[in-house]
Amino acid sequence: AQSVSQHNHHVILSEAASLELGCNYSYGGTVNLFWYVQYPGQHLQLLLKYFSGDPLVKGIKGFEAEFIKSKFSFNLRKPSVQWSDTAEYFCAVNSGNTPLVFGKGTRLSVIA
Q: Which is nearer to other proteins, 97 or 112 (CB)?
A: 97
Tell me the closest approach of the beta carbon of residue 80 to other proteins, in angstroms. Answer: 26
At 61, phi and psi to the nearest 5? 60, 30
Phi-psi region of 72 (alpha: psi -120 to 50; beta: other; left: phi over 0): left
CB of 32 vs other proteins, minimal distance in Å = 5
Minimum distance, C-beta of residue 61 to other proteins, in the bound complex (Å): 16
Chain length of the chain: 112
By beta-carbon proximity to other proteins, the closer residue of 41 and 112 is 41
Q: Which of 52, 70 has the CB closer to other proteins? A: 52
Instruction: Please state, in angstroms and as integers, the Cα–Cα distance from residue 67 to each residue in 3, 24, 63, 106, following that order.
Output: 16, 10, 14, 18
Pairing, β 24-25 against β 101-102: unpaired
**CA-to-CA distance for 59 and 62, rounded, in angstroms?**
6
Residue number, 70 or 97, with CB nearest to other proteins: 97
| Site residues, other proteins (CB under 8 A) | 32, 34, 36, 42-46, 49, 51, 90, 92, 94-105
Residue type, 25: Y
The CB-of-15 to other proteins minimum distance in angstroms stands at 27
